[in-house]
Amino acid sequence: MATKKSVSSLKEADLKGKRVFVRVDLNVPLDDNFNITDDTRIRAAVPTIKYLMGHGARVILSSHLGRPKGVTPKYSLKPLVPRLSELLGVDVKMANDCIGVEVEKIVAEIPEGGVLLLENVRFYKEEEKNDPEFAKKLASLAEIYVNDAFGTAHRAHASTEGVAKYLKPAVAGFLMQKELDYLVGAVANPKKPFAAIVGGSKVSSKIGVIESLLEKVDLLFLGGGMIYTFYKAQGHSVGSSLVEEDKLDLATSLIEKAKVKGVKLLLPADVLVADKFAPDANSKVLCHCPFKLCALPLEQFGQILFWVTKEHAWMHTSTRNWNVI
């Protein structure tokens, strides 16, 4: 079979009757009663799944939910089955595990055009460690690999990177391809002025992204937990917030590099601080530092995150690139 890069290059002759392992991002928010409060990520995965179903593939869905430490019932993917079935128009089957003899038996029973959802792949610590043996067990379930989980594609985990070594072809799904096509165009040939937002908990995981963007952007907004490393590098007190102490010099060097290149590197104008990380915490919004309490991560910020700079800079840019992972 010739090398194929996108799921659209796979036709019925390639897919009919084949077991296709599809890594999707079904990490959706659930309320206390395990009801889905936002199904955006599920709906985003539908086009790729329906394409495979329509071409007679036997679809095996793999995803994570939350950050479980071992098998954790509240992070089971079972609550997603009804909505997934409704959107796909078929009765989606659910496995109680993602590897093992019982899973193999269920996989063997998937009909053409049928869909099986595996249990949370992060119930195994080997997933995030990209353990080769675990990746082989996942890969043994299928014949073709499709990655449509753009939100987790930057992480070299067993289901996102490891499996691709053992299944050919390994291709991008429609959502992944759409994002990649946009990024290639936006970054390679952007309309000026070019602004980007980068978020994340650690500076260390974003070094390559930030350094690359500093070569191209006019404005760079930083958010997420990593901002406290930048704040501390500038001499601010950040309380008990997440800080990479060994990356303070790196943060300082990135700030200086931005100045040299004429890039406006902007940090949030406001942060939400609290006395503890809990729903009943005492909290308030502060402008910049010093923080006397615990500053919360990007997910807890209000909508005024960049209110000072948005009005004068962000809204006047031609190209906007988001990387908040």
Whether residue 87 is found in the same domain as residue 206: no
Q: Which domain-ending residue is among 147, 177, 207? A: 177
Whether residue 79 is found in the same domain as residue 210: no
Confidence at residue 323, expressed as pLDDT on a 0 to 100 scale? 46
> Which three-class secondary structure string do you get for the chain?
CCCCCEHHHCCHHHHCCCEEEEECCCCCCECCCCCECCCHHHHHHHHHHHHHHHCCCEEEEECCCCCCCCCCHHHCCHHHHHHHHHHHCCCCEECCCCCCHHHHHHHHCCCCCCEEECCCHHHCHHHHCCCHHHHHHHHCCCCEEEECCHHHCCCCCHHHHHHHHCCCCEEECHHHHHHHHHHHHHHHCCCCCEEEEEECCCCCCCHHHHHHHHCCCCEEEECCCCHHHHHHHCCCCCECCCCCHHHHHHHHHHHHHHHHHCCEEECCCEEEEECCCCCCCCEEEEECCCCCCEECCHHHCCCCCCHHHHHHCHHHCCEEEEEEC
Global pTM value: 0.70
- Cβ partners under 8 Å of residue 16, min gap 6: 55, 56, 57, 112
Please check whether residue 184 lies inside any domain of the structure.
no
For each successive 10 residues of the chain (325 residues), what is the average pLDDT?
72 95 95 93 96 97 95 96 97 97 97 98 96 97 95 85 94 88 73 82 79 88 85 82 88 93 84 75 66 42 37 43 45
Report the number of distinct structural domains present in the chain: 2
Answer for the pair 233, 252: CB distance below 8 angstroms, yes or no: yes
Whether residue 98 is found in the same domain as residue 123: yes
Q: Which domain holds residue 200?
A: 190-324
Whether residue 274 is found in the same domain as residue 142: no
Please check whether residue 185 lies inside any domain of the structure.
no
Whether residue 163 is found in the same domain as residue 199: no
- For the domain that residue 209 is a member of, what is the CATH number? 3.40.50.1260
